[in-house]
Amino acid sequence: MSHMSLFLRFILTGALMALAACGANQNPLEVTIQRCPALAVVGGTGSFVRFMGDEKNAADIAYEASITNLQLKCDQDDDVISDVHFDLAAVRGPALPATGEISLQWFVAVVRDNSIIVAKDIYETRLSFESADQQRVVVTERLRQELPDIERARRYNYEILIGFQLDPEDVRYNLLR
Protein backbone atom coordinates (compact mmCIF):
# COMPACT_ATOMS: atom_id res chain seq x y z
CA MET A 1 0.00 0.00 0.00
CA SER A 2 1.44 3.38 -0.94
CA HIS A 3 1.70 6.34 1.34
CA MET A 4 -0.70 8.24 -0.90
CA SER A 5 -3.34 5.51 -0.70
CA LEU A 6 -3.00 5.29 3.08
CA PHE A 7 -3.21 9.08 3.34
CA LEU A 8 -6.42 9.17 1.19
CA ARG A 9 -8.02 6.47 3.30
CA PHE A 10 -7.15 8.40 6.44
CA ILE A 11 -8.65 11.61 5.02
CA LEU A 12 -11.82 9.86 3.79
CA THR A 13 -12.32 8.08 7.11
CA GLY A 14 -11.88 11.37 8.99
CA ALA A 15 -14.30 13.16 6.67
CA LEU A 16 -16.95 10.44 7.11
CA MET A 17 -16.58 10.55 10.88
CA ALA A 18 -16.92 14.34 10.87
CA LEU A 19 -20.07 14.15 8.73
CA ALA A 20 -21.58 11.49 10.96
CA ALA A 21 -20.91 13.58 14.06
CA CYS A 22 -22.57 16.69 12.62
CA GLY A 23 -26.12 15.40 13.12
CA ALA A 24 -25.54 13.35 16.24
CA ASN A 25 -26.97 15.93 18.66
CA GLN A 26 -29.93 17.02 16.54
CA ASN A 27 -33.35 15.52 16.96
CA PRO A 28 -34.99 15.01 13.57
CA LEU A 29 -38.43 15.46 15.19
CA GLU A 30 -39.35 18.97 16.19
CA VAL A 31 -41.70 18.91 19.16
CA THR A 32 -43.91 21.93 19.79
CA ILE A 33 -45.90 21.94 23.01
CA GLN A 34 -49.28 23.57 22.50
CA ARG A 35 -50.90 25.38 25.40
CA CYS A 36 -54.18 25.74 23.57
CA PRO A 37 -57.14 24.11 25.28
CA ALA A 38 -58.84 21.05 23.85
CA LEU A 39 -62.36 21.57 22.51
CA ALA A 40 -65.16 19.03 22.92
CA VAL A 41 -68.88 18.53 23.34
CA VAL A 42 -69.75 16.98 26.70
CA GLY A 43 -71.01 13.42 26.22
CA GLY A 44 -74.78 13.17 26.31
CA THR A 45 -75.30 16.93 25.89
CA GLY A 46 -74.55 17.41 22.18
CA SER A 47 -78.08 16.67 21.02
CA PHE A 48 -81.57 16.36 22.41
CA VAL A 49 -85.20 15.89 21.41
CA ARG A 50 -87.91 18.32 22.54
CA PHE A 51 -91.44 16.94 22.77
CA MET A 52 -94.78 18.74 22.80
CA GLY A 53 -96.85 17.43 25.68
CA ASP A 54 -96.14 14.57 28.04
CA GLU A 55 -95.92 11.72 25.53
CA LYS A 56 -92.55 10.61 24.18
CA ASN A 57 -93.45 9.19 20.78
CA ALA A 58 -92.47 10.24 17.24
CA ALA A 59 -95.70 12.16 16.59
CA ASP A 60 -95.00 14.39 19.62
CA ILE A 61 -91.50 15.52 18.58
CA ALA A 62 -91.35 19.30 18.24
CA TYR A 63 -87.70 19.36 17.15
CA GLU A 64 -84.33 17.68 17.47
CA ALA A 65 -81.33 19.91 18.18
CA SER A 66 -77.62 19.22 17.84
CA ILE A 67 -74.23 20.88 18.20
CA THR A 68 -72.00 20.28 15.18
CA ASN A 69 -68.93 21.52 13.32
CA LEU A 70 -66.78 22.48 16.30
CA GLN A 71 -63.75 24.52 15.27
CA LEU A 72 -60.97 26.00 17.38
CA LYS A 73 -58.43 28.60 16.32
CA CYS A 74 -55.88 29.32 19.00
CA ASP A 75 -53.14 31.94 19.31
CA GLN A 76 -50.59 31.73 22.08
CA ASP A 77 -48.25 34.54 22.95
CA ASP A 78 -48.21 36.18 26.38
CA ASP A 79 -51.72 34.80 26.78
CA VAL A 80 -53.75 32.07 25.11
CA ILE A 81 -56.70 33.24 22.98
CA SER A 82 -59.10 30.60 21.68
CA ASP A 83 -61.70 31.46 19.05
CA VAL A 84 -64.42 28.82 18.96
CA HIS A 85 -67.03 28.38 16.22
CA PHE A 86 -69.78 25.78 16.13
CA ASP A 87 -73.23 25.25 14.69
CA LEU A 88 -76.51 24.88 16.54
CA ALA A 89 -78.89 22.97 14.31
CA ALA A 90 -82.55 22.09 14.76
CA VAL A 91 -84.67 19.74 12.67
CA ARG A 92 -88.43 20.19 12.66
CA GLY A 93 -90.59 17.46 14.14
CA PRO A 94 -94.25 16.76 13.34
CA ALA A 95 -95.55 18.52 16.48
CA LEU A 96 -93.92 21.92 15.80
CA PRO A 97 -96.35 24.60 14.53
CA ALA A 98 -95.88 25.77 10.91
CA THR A 99 -94.03 28.91 11.96
CA GLY A 100 -92.32 28.22 15.20
CA GLU A 101 -89.57 29.84 17.21
CA ILE A 102 -87.51 27.68 19.51
CA SER A 103 -85.02 28.55 22.20
CA LEU A 104 -81.86 26.53 22.77
CA GLN A 105 -79.94 26.90 26.01
CA TRP A 106 -76.30 25.89 25.79
CA PHE A 107 -73.23 26.25 27.95
CA VAL A 108 -69.51 26.79 27.66
CA ALA A 109 -67.31 25.58 30.49
CA VAL A 110 -63.57 25.87 30.96
CA VAL A 111 -62.19 22.86 32.80
CA ARG A 112 -58.71 22.48 34.26
CA ASP A 113 -57.00 19.09 34.54
CA ASN A 114 -60.15 17.17 33.51
CA SER A 115 -61.99 17.85 36.76
CA ILE A 116 -62.00 21.44 38.02
CA ILE A 117 -64.58 23.77 36.45
CA VAL A 118 -62.86 27.14 36.22
CA ALA A 119 -65.75 28.95 34.52
CA LYS A 120 -69.17 28.17 33.10
CA ASP A 121 -71.57 30.43 31.23
CA ILE A 122 -75.05 29.62 29.94
CA TYR A 123 -76.31 31.16 26.71
CA GLU A 124 -79.58 31.16 24.83
CA THR A 125 -80.03 31.13 21.06
CA ARG A 126 -83.38 31.58 19.32
CA LEU A 127 -84.03 29.80 16.04
CA SER A 128 -87.04 30.45 13.81
CA PHE A 129 -88.75 28.11 11.41
CA GLU A 130 -90.20 30.63 8.94
CA SER A 131 -92.59 28.25 7.18
CA ALA A 132 -93.95 24.71 7.34
CA ASP A 133 -91.63 23.81 4.44
CA GLN A 134 -88.49 24.74 6.34
CA GLN A 135 -87.26 21.51 7.89
CA ARG A 136 -83.89 22.61 9.29
CA VAL A 137 -82.42 25.75 10.85
CA VAL A 138 -78.71 26.29 11.55
CA VAL A 139 -77.02 29.15 13.39
CA THR A 140 -73.26 29.52 13.80
CA GLU A 141 -72.16 30.64 17.25
CA ARG A 142 -68.78 32.26 17.88
CA LEU A 143 -67.04 32.95 21.13
CA ARG A 144 -63.61 33.86 22.40
CA GLN A 145 -61.98 32.38 25.48
CA GLU A 146 -58.84 33.97 26.88
CA LEU A 147 -56.35 32.60 29.38
CA PRO A 148 -54.51 35.79 30.33
CA ASP A 149 -51.38 34.11 31.67
CA ILE A 150 -49.31 31.77 29.50
CA GLU A 151 -47.46 30.59 32.61
CA ARG A 152 -50.73 29.35 34.12
CA ALA A 153 -51.57 27.65 30.84
CA ARG A 154 -48.22 25.86 30.98
CA ARG A 155 -48.94 24.44 34.45
CA TYR A 156 -52.38 23.00 33.71
CA ASN A 157 -54.30 21.27 30.95
CA TYR A 158 -57.37 23.25 29.95
CA GLU A 159 -60.43 22.17 27.98
CA ILE A 160 -63.32 24.14 26.54
CA LEU A 161 -66.47 22.06 26.87
CA ILE A 162 -69.73 22.85 25.11
CA GLY A 163 -73.17 21.30 25.45
CA PHE A 164 -76.87 21.92 25.70
CA GLN A 165 -78.12 22.93 29.14
CA LEU A 166 -80.47 19.99 29.69
CA ASP A 167 -82.83 19.10 32.49
CA PRO A 168 -82.60 15.63 34.11
CA GLU A 169 -85.47 14.31 31.98
CA ASP A 170 -83.66 15.31 28.75
CA VAL A 171 -80.45 13.65 29.94
CA ARG A 172 -82.33 10.48 30.85
CA TYR A 173 -84.00 10.37 27.43
CA ASN A 174 -80.63 10.90 25.69
CA LEU A 175 -79.09 8.03 27.63
CA LEU A 176 -81.95 5.64 26.86
CA ARG A 177 -82.46 6.33 23.16
pLDDT of residue 86: 97
Quick check: pTM over 0.85? no
Kindly list the domain boundaries of the chain, sorted by start residue: 38-176
Tell me the chain's radius of gyration from C-alpha atoms. 28
pLDDT at 20: 56
What was the pLDDT predicted at 49?
Answer: 93
Question: What does the pLDDT read at residue 161?
Answer: 93
Q: Which CATH number fits domain 38-176: 2.60.40, 1.10.10, 1.10.357, 2.30.29?
A: 2.60.40
48 near 67, Cβ under 8 Å?
no
> What stretches in the chain show pLDDT beneath 50?
none
Instruction: Give the pLDDT of residue 38.
Output: 87
Helix (H) or strand (E) holding 10: helix 3-22
